[in-house]
Amino acid sequence: MASNDVLEVRDLKAYYLMNYYGVTREVRAVDDITMSIKRNEVYGIAGESSSGKTSFIKVLAAAIRPPLEVVAGSAVYDFSGMRPIDVARASDADTDRIRWKYLSYIMQGSMSVLNPLRRIESTFEDFAARPLGLSGGALRQRVVEHLATLKLGPEVLRAYPHELSGGMRQRVTIGLATICNPEFIIADEPTTALDVVVQKDVLSLIRNLQRQMGASVILVTHDMSVHANMADRVGIMYAGRLVEDGPTRTLFTAPKHPYTAHLVASLPRIGDTARRPALEGRPPNLADPPSGCRFHPRCPLAIDRCKTEVPPLATVSQEHRSACWRADDVEPLVTADGDAGRDTVTA
């Protein structure tokens, strides 16, 4: 494991094993993923619904419960001042030590992650008192300071969740996740179900905090524009597998997997009226996935080899990997005009 990596995932497999009224099902939500994340890096994970990305980050967050189980592989964190810990296999006691202090989570949907019957200050006490080792006045002080960086005033503390607006609730949730200065933050669709203005706010908040703390963030969303604006590197998931990953700019300008090419092309640009090709078909059933490359039923470049042999995630160029037998033949579907890289979301 490179000393610069804060997370290394190797051959990770996590399936839903279900037995209900005599019917056994094995849903291969995470099927053989190998990747790593450096310190102080924003890594985006993109993919459609049921690509397995939520299950993947549940494993990373050490938050899996039956029927989801880790079947093989490892996910090792290397935090400062600690021995490396493999969350795929670690005991509860070990994972408890890293929770919230080193590893935190921003959950999807700010609506319901806060206890409706508890004031915000009590929630902060529940979450942060132990990892920070503070209580009473000192804790309150720290919370107020932290909320200020999120542009929330101290009056928020006495409020109940339903008394705050959606945007404020999302900031509180981000505040909760970042108050202990974790080294690794998992953000699960933090902007879904928010309107564009609030989205911009939330994203810049996450970006600023990440820079300040020097933390790594794994940002999961299906929205490619968010990745374009936020991520240093992006990984594309399809049907439980990682099909391409690499620096954001490279992926957007020169994707080497047909699926990525289509995803990138789906972003509209002002003034661009070209027709966009749509992919036929739908994502596969993870309980009964296609043989060989899972994308082959929908792939315009598919050849016979794709139906029988699984393409490995092979290095295409510097830090850029793709799982496609015809990676060299992949062309971007829409030519980039000028700078299609980072926007000025966070000036």
Partner 1 sequence: MISIVRDLIRYNIEFAIGLVLTTIIVIFACLSFFSPVNPNLVYTAIPDQPPSWQYWFGTNSRGQEMFWQLSFAFRNTLSFGVTVALISRVISIFVGLLSGYLGGWVDRILMFVNDIFVAIPIFPILILFYFVMRSNLNSFTLALVMACFGWPFDARLIRSVALGLRHREFTRQAVFAGMSPIKIMLEEHLPYVMPIIFATAMANMIWSIGLEVTLAVLGFTNINIPTVGTTLYWANNHSALVVGVWWWILIPVIILVMMFLGLFLLAVSLNEYIDPRSRLRRMGV
Partner 2 sequence: MREYLLFALKRFVQLAAVVFFGISGAFFISHLSPISPVETILGEVTGRSSVDPEAIAQIRQALTELFGLDVPLWQQYLNFWGRFATGDLGPSLLAFPTPSMKLVMLALPWTVGLLTSSIIITWIIGNFLGGLAGYFQNSRLLKLFGVVSIGVQPIPHYIVAFLMVIVFGFLWPILPISGGFAMNVRPGWTIQFVLSILHYSILPAASLVIVGMGTWFLGMRALVSNIVTEDYVTYAELANVSRGRIVGSYVIRNALVPQLTALSMALGGIFSGTIITEQVFTYPGLGSLLVSAVNGGDTTTVLAVSSMAIIAVATAIFIIDLLHPLLDPRVKAA
End-to-end CA distance of the chain: 34
For strands 216-220 and 184-188, give the pairing. parallel
Report the partner that residue 105 touches, choosing among partner 1, partner 2, none (CB closer than 5 to 8 A by kind). partner 2
Tell me: does residue 127 bind partner 2 (CB under 8 A): yes
Binding mask 214-253 for partner 2 (x = CB under 8 A): ----------------------------------------
Report the partner that residue 114 touches, choosing among partner 1, partner 2, none (CB closer than 5 to 8 A by kind). partner 2
Q: Which of 14, 70, 176, 202 binds partner 2 (CB under 8 A)?
A: 176
- Residues engaged in binding partner 1 (CB under 8 A): 18-22, 65-67
Residue pair 37/6 in contact by the 8 Å Cβ criterion:
yes
For the record, the structure tokens of 318 come out as 């510097």
Please state the closest distance from residue 66 (CB atom) to partner 1, in A: 4
Angle at 24 between CA 22 and CA 30, to 5 degrees: 160
Q: Which of 162, 211, 269, 307 binds partner 2 (CB under 8 A)?
A: 162
Q: Cα(119)–Cα(125) distance, rounded to whole angstroms?
A: 10
Q: Cα(75)–Cα(163) distance, rounded to whole angstroms?
A: 39
What are the angstrom distances between the C-alpha of 296 and each of 49, 116, 222, 304? 18, 46, 21, 9
**Residue located via tokens 């968010």:** 226
Report the partner that residue 21 touches, choosing among partner 2, partner 1, none (CB closer than 5 to 8 A by kind). partner 1
Report the partner that residue 22 touches, choosing among partner 1, partner 2, none (CB closer than 5 to 8 A by kind). partner 1
Minimum CB distance to partner 1 smaller for 65 or for 83: 65
Q: Cα(217)–Cα(206) distance, rounded to whole angstroms?
A: 9
Kindly state the DSSP code that residue 165 receives in the 8-state scheme: -
Minimum CB distance to partner 1 smaller for 49 or for 344: 49
Residue pair 107/173 in contact by the 8 Å Cβ criterion:
yes
Report the partner that residue 19 touches, choosing among partner 1, partner 2, none (CB closer than 5 to 8 A by kind). partner 1
The residues that touch partner 2, with contacts defined as CB under 8 A, are 61, 63, 96, 99-100, 104-105, 107, 109, 111-118, 122, 126-127, 130-131, 160, 162, 176
